[in-house]
Amino acid sequence: MVTFLTDHLLSWIIAAPLAGLALVAWLRDEELIKRVSLASTLVSFLLSLVVWARFDHGREGMQFVERAEWMPTFNIQYAVGVDGISLPLLLLTTLLPPLCVLTSWNAIETKVKAFMMLILLVESAMIVVFTALDLFLFFMLWEVTMIPMYFMIVLWGGPQRVPAAVKFVLFSLTGSLLLLVAILGLYLEGGKTFDMIALSQVSYSVDTQFWIFLALFLAFAIKMPMLPFHTWLPEAHSEAPTAGSVILAGILLKMGGYGFLRLCLPLFPQASADFATFILWLSVAAILYGGYNALAQEDIKKMVAYSSISHMGFVTLGIFVFNTQGIHGAILQMFNHGITTGALFLIVGQLYDRTHSREINDYGGLHKLMPRFTTFLCIFSVASFGLPGTCSFIGEFLVLVGTSSRSYVMVLLAMGGIVLAASYMLWMLQRVALGPVTTRFASSLPDLTMREIVVLVPLAILVFAIGLYPGPLIHAMDATVTGLIQGFDAGPPLKTTAHF
């Protein structure tokens, strides 16, 4: 029995939320529904910690691989596995859903069963996306993640939820269509297989690399989202319920960065090199544009949403410098962004639950009214702009070190984005938390409850744990990243071997 469990760990991680979903579907008591949902997500998280504990950090390639024939006629398999790139994202994907269930405990008052079922469905789908070794499986679950997010926005969102949800779906469907075209191209050019490992051994022509890479780039750029495909993000965030925003910013945006690392670089090194300069400058533009727009926001949630555009610019900047420091920094930045931005959305949601206002000018002097809330707000705000000793600092630092081998001008401009981040975060803190009490909501602002503190404490611990000791995460991804960029050390060749 123990061997069966350990040999199929990833399948159990995927199945735990689905089992919870199936059980919740038969329940009527809302309190029991919440408890079962929380238990299901916690089981998935605990199993992912077992994967972390058993993961061989010095080994290159996929581990915990599971394969089963699914549709043999088309060479489609159920195939999953993790390596140093997908492992941090697997941990992040299983960490945030339990916190989303807890933060929605009282915030969601209608259709509680449906909301919890959507959280469980999207968690399971995201886990498959980050572990899939079959492109058909990857695409199918990529599509599934869109459905729960649409319904979260349109059923539990703000006053403009319908236009925001429709815009989210239209952008997502466009990216999905491009991804499907690229996957079909890979299937036809790679020997009619969807196996990522087999496809990585194929030598593609320059023209094939160009066109398939272009389709993949556009699909992943929309998902991240990169400039100029970002316009759906602020609207979706501002209208989504708190848990929806946490899942969207904390996990779903990382699917784009993961796609670059899993498909674009290993399968199409020449096309990656050809597009690199354009993508790097686009990343720098996104860092500055996102920071500048965040600085102009009066809505706290929109400010955090625009900051995500800036932070994800560091991710693509690190990926396309083609060195270990840059890619280490990019993966760390994806993980750290999930922690800090997810926490900020949780913080904003806790404040909104009390006042139903996200306007910065409606608050002031919260350090006197809500000292515990203000403490967490300060921690996650300074972590967001990369204060040394917090998690984002090491990710941004490694990205800048990696970028210095490419262009010092890009480094200086990217540092301008960090300055902008410090400006809008500190300015927000000054107006919301410091000074005399000026908020008209003073009578309705009790400090954080124990449940709300429990939601934030794990993220606060990770902020400082990773910021002060990032070694375990870096060590886990090192062998995989080193293998990935071997072909780029002397300039990307026409063909390199992907190390799965």
220-232 pLDDT per residue, tens: 999 988 888 888 9
* Tally of domains within the chain: 1
Instruction: List pLDDT tens digits, range 297-307.
Output: 888 999 999 99
Q: Are 439 and 445 in contact (CB under 8 A)?
A: yes
Neighbours of 175 (CB within 10 A): 26
Residue 257 lies in a domain: yes
The reply to whether 499 falls in a domain is no
pLDDT at residue 124 tops 90: yes
What's 497's DSSP letter?
A: -
The DSSP call for residue 260 is I
In a domain, 497, yes or no: no
Nearest in space to 258 (alpha carbons), one of 128, 89, 135, 94: 89
Q: What is the pLDDT of residues 69-115, one digit of tens each?
A: 988 888 899 999 999 999 999 999 999 999 999 999 988 888 999 99
Radius of gyration of the chain (CA): 22
Q: Distances in Å between the alpha carbon of 56 and those of 191, 472, 476, 479, 481?
A: 32, 12, 8, 10, 14
The first and second tokens of residue 286, run together, are 């996104």
pLDDT over 70, % of the chain: 96
- The string of pLDDT tens digits covering residues 421-445 is 999 999 999 998 888 888 887 777 8
pLDDT of res. 72: 86
| Residue 213 in domain | yes
Q: Decide: residue 315, CB within 10 A, 0-12 exposed, 13-18 middle, 19+ buried.
A: buried
Q: Which amino acid is at 23?
A: L
- The CA distance from 491 to 333, in Å, is 24
pLDDT of residue 493 exceeding 50, the answer is no
Range of the domain at 392: 2-488
Structure tokens at 234: 């602020």
- Spatial separation of the C-alpha atoms in residues 468 and 456, rounded to whole Å: 19
Within-domain flag for 493: no
Cα separation, 83 vs 76, in Å, equals 21
Contact present, 183 and 198 (Cβ < 8 Å): no
pLDDT at 102: 94
Does some domain include residue 500?
A: no
Whether residue 147 has pLDDT greater than 60 = yes
Nearest to 400 by CA among 420, 385, 415: 415
For residue 423, being part of any structural domain is answered with yes
Alpha-carbon gap, residue 327 to 258, rounded angstroms: 11
* Residue 37 within any structural domain of the chain: yes
Q: Are 445 and 55 in contact (CB under 8 A)?
A: no
CA distance 492 to 163: 43
Q: Residue 3: its pLDDT value, please?
A: 61
Residue 498: pLDDT band with limits 50, 70, 90: very low
d(CA 96, CA 252): 11
